[in-house]
């Protein structure tokens, strides 16, 4: 029943709130389960409103709100940047709901949001997840978000880098930034709680992101840029001594994250949690970034005048005490994997889990390019090395008996490409694989800004599962290092696919998302890409698909 203050939906449906108050950041829903979902908004009070404004939340089965199931008063949390999140319970599984927030005091009303509870066992033959990550506001338009809003995804799985912490002109800035008016606000790097809140407000006022939140429920984890680049438990590469206490900065970032991306957790520092969906999927959302991660290794710390100190590096890399999860989260993951009977055990992991081992000589050249030493001579050296190595690898694959021991050593002397990923924590990765033995394991990953399809294999070469890794919403991929020439990028993609044993597919330059579908018979992934981030265009093309039986 409608509250007495509202006698007609039409009274408010035509109302357009003033720009200086109302629901400028839209609405959103988070962490759906079979019987509950978190509903969110942010309210800017009118100048004449005093005290803590009260809103009404309406939840209905129909868009016109003729079948109102919930109509309750909610109080603005002024200590949480005027955000509101309500964990609505006693809902019906596998059901679409409509909701809105409104102020009876000044007749401001939000847009109508849509959300859906998760199906219980037997209620769905297929579950569809849109997997996204890495949306740098300064890099271009959020067409990927617009495309997902138009898709038939049941839920959006966001694997982090929802915001970026950089200042105007910082990472991600390109020729589109000024032309599209996408300069970061606030102008400086985000450090204080006020900074992070302002950055979230800017992102949440983006038209396409706001539309996606309006239409789809989200399940989120953070990655590093919600705090600072290459973050770990006790520090970050992009946190400098002059920026104050890292612990304070981290707490500021975590508070703002929960204000704008609420998760159903009892401790805001511990966002790992799982979702059981239709007995088909056990989705385990991990924190591989902040809660327990040891500081990343860097090859530069092991470079000597005579080259890489391999012995020192290998000792650190294989240290059995190194962790990306932390002991508490690892115990939780082991237990959750062990007790779930769902068909698919799905990890929502910020960073790549698959092994990306490349010939050591090639890695050293890539390192020079990544450090900005991209002279024509270095690129020529890279091209020459790639050509030679691919030729040798193809000969090995074809069983060529003339391959020499020296040539084979060039291929088999490999190092992990990305020590910020699970590759930097190989012992703990083996522990997870062992816990998942006998189960159908899928890793969903983001972070790299490139699209990958890889096998998950143990140190002994046993196949443990498969990884579907998404490209970015806007953040630049490997083309930022190697240029936008299509022939060069295509050659790079083909070369890495040949040289990296577990890699089946790589897209190194397009922006997009994964549509991951799970049924009782198979898990499928489609890598969908937008055609541009320079003008609004949500049309997509599917370049690659994969299935796991």
pLDDT of residue 306: 87
How confident is the model over 345-359, as pLDDT tens digits?
999 999 999 999 999
Judge contact between 63 and 98, C-beta under 8 A.
yes
Rounded to the nearest 5 degrees, what angle is found at the Cα of 508, between the Cα atoms of 506 and 509?
Answer: 140
How confident is the model over 144-165, as pLDDT tens digits?
999 999 999 999 999 999 999 9
**Do the strands 217-220 and 155-158 form a parallel or antiparallel pair, or are they unpaired?**
parallel
- In this prediction, residues 360-370 reach a mean pLDDT of 86
Question: What's the CATH code of the domain at 94?
Answer: 2.60.40.380
pLDDT of residue 492: 93
DSSP string, 276-317: EETTTEEEEE---SSSSPPPPP-GGGGEETTEE-HHHHHHHH
CB neighbours of 295 closer than 8 A, spacing ≥ 6? 232, 234, 235
How confident is the model over 381-431, as pLDDT tens digits?
889 999 999 999 999 999 999 999 999 999 999 999 999 999 999 999 999
34 domain-assigned = yes
- In this prediction, residues 328-346 reach a mean pLDDT of 97
CA distance 82 to 84: 7
Reported as type and span, the H/E element at residue 274 is strand 273-277
Per the structure, the complete domain to which residue 29 belongs is given by 1-117
7 domain-assigned = yes
11 domain-assigned = yes
Percent above pLDDT 70 for the chain = 96
195 domain-assigned = no
- Which DSSP state fits 243? G
Last residue of some domain: 52, 85, 117?
A: 117
Residue 107 has pLDDT above 90, yes or no: no
| Domain total of the chain | 2
Residue 9 has pLDDT above 80, yes or no: no
Residue 10 has pLDDT above 50, yes or no: no
pLDDT of residue 377: 85
449 domain-assigned = no
pTM exceeds 0.75:
yes
Last residue of some domain: 379, 399, 416?
A: 416
Residue 369 has pLDDT above 90, yes or no: no
How confident is the model over 174-192, as pLDDT tens digits?
999 999 999 999 999 999 9
**Residue 422 Cα distances to 135, 251, 395, 417, 493, angstroms:** 22, 25, 30, 11, 21
Q: What is the mean pLDDT of the chain?
A: 94
pLDDT of residue 13: 35
CA distance 505 to 127: 24
- In this prediction, residues 496-523 reach a mean pLDDT of 97
pLDDT of residue 17: 40
CA distance 496 to 357: 10
pLDDT of residue 28: 98
CA distance 153 to 475: 22
CA distance 32 to 87: 10
95 domain-assigned = yes
Q: Which residues are paired to 218 by β-bridges?
A: 30, 156
Q: 189, exposed or middle or buried, with CB in 10 Å at 0-12, 13-18, 19+?
A: buried
Last residue of some domain: 117, 133, 163?
A: 117
Residue 18 has pLDDT above 70, yes or no: no
What's the residue count for the chain?
549
Record the tokens describing residue 435, joined without a space: 């816990």
CA distance 95 to 92: 6
- In this prediction, residues 495-512 reach a mean pLDDT of 97
How confident is the model over 203-213, as pLDDT tens digits?
999 999 999 99
CA distance 197 to 195: 5
- In this prediction, residues 80-98 reach a mean pLDDT of 97
Confidence of residue 366 (pLDDT cuts 50, 70, 90): confident
Record the tokens describing residue 142, joined without a space: 């959020």
pLDDT of residue 47: 84
- In this prediction, residues 78-87 reach a mean pLDDT of 94
pLDDT of residue 15: 35
364 domain-assigned = yes
pLDDT of residue 48: 83
Record the tokens describing residue 528, joined without a space: 């969908």
401 domain-assigned = yes
């Amino acid at each position: 029943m409608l509250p007495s203050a509202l006698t007609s939906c039409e009274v408010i449906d035509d109302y357009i709130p003033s720009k200086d108050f109302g629901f400028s950041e839209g609405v959103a829903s988070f962490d759906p389960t079979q019987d509950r979902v978190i509903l969110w908004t942010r309210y800017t009070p009118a100048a004449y409103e005093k005290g803590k404004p009260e809103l009404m939340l309406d939840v209905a089965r129909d868009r016109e709100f003729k079948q109102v199931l919930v109509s309750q008063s909610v109080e603005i949390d002024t200590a949480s940047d005027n955000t509101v999140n309500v964990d609505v319970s006693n809902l019906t599984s596998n059901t679409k709901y409509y909701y809105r927030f409104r102020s009876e005091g000044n007749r401001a009303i939000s847009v109508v949001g849509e959300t859906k509870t998760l199906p219980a066992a037997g209620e769905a033959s297929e579950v569809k997840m849109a997997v996204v990550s890495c949306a740098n506001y300064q890099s271009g338009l959020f067409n990927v978000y617009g495309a997902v809003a138009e898709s038939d995804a049941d839920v959006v799985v966001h694997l982090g880098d929802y915001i970026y912490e950089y200042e105007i002109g910082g990472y991600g800035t390109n020729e589109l930034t000024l032309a599209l008016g996408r300069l970061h606000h606030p102008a400086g790097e985000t450090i204080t709680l006020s900074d992070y809140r302002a950055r979230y407000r800017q992102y949440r006022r983006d038209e396409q992101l706001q539309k996606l939140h309006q239409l789809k429920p989200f399940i989120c984890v953070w990655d590093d840029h919600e705090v600072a680049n290459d973050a770990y438990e006790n520090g970050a590469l992009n946190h400098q001594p002059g920026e104050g206490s890292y612990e304070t900065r981290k707490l500021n970032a975590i508070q703002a994250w929960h204000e704008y991306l609420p998760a159903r957790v009892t401790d805001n520092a511990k966002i790992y949690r799982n979702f059981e969906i239709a007995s088909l999927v056990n989705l385990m959302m991990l924190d591989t970034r902040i809660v327990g991660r040891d500081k990343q290794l860097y090859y530069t710390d092991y470079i000597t005048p005579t080259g890489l100190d391999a012995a020192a590096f290998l000792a650190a890399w294989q240290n059995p005490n190194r962790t990306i999860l932390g002991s508490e989260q690892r115990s939780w993951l082991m237990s959750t994997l062990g007790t779930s009977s769902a068909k698919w055990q799905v990890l929502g992991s910020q960073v790549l889990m698959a092994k990306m081992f490349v010939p050591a000589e090639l890695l050293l050249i890539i390192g020079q390019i990544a450090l900005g030493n991209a002279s024509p001579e270095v690129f020529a050296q890279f091209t020459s090395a790639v050509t030679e190595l691919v030729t040798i690898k193809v000969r090995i694959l074809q069983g060529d008996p003339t391959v020499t021991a020296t040539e084979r050593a060039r291929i088999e002397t490999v190092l992990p490409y990305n020590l910020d990923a699970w590759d930097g924590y190989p012992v703990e990765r083996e522990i997870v694989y062992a816990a998942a033995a006998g189960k159908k394991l899928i890793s969903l990953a983001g972070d790299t800004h490139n699209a990958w399809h890889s096998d998950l294999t143990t140190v002994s070469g046993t196949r443990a599962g498969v990884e579907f890794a998404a490209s970015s919403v806007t953040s630049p991929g490997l083309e930022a290092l190697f240029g936008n020439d299509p022939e060069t990028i295509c050659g790079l993609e083909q070369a890495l696919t040949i040289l990296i044993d577990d890699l089946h597919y790589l897209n190194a330059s397009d922006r997009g998302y994964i549509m991951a579908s799970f049924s009782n018979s198979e898990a499928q992934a489609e890598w969908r890409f937008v055609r541009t981030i320079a003008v609004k265009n949500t049309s997509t093309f599917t370049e690659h698909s994969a299935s796991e039986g």
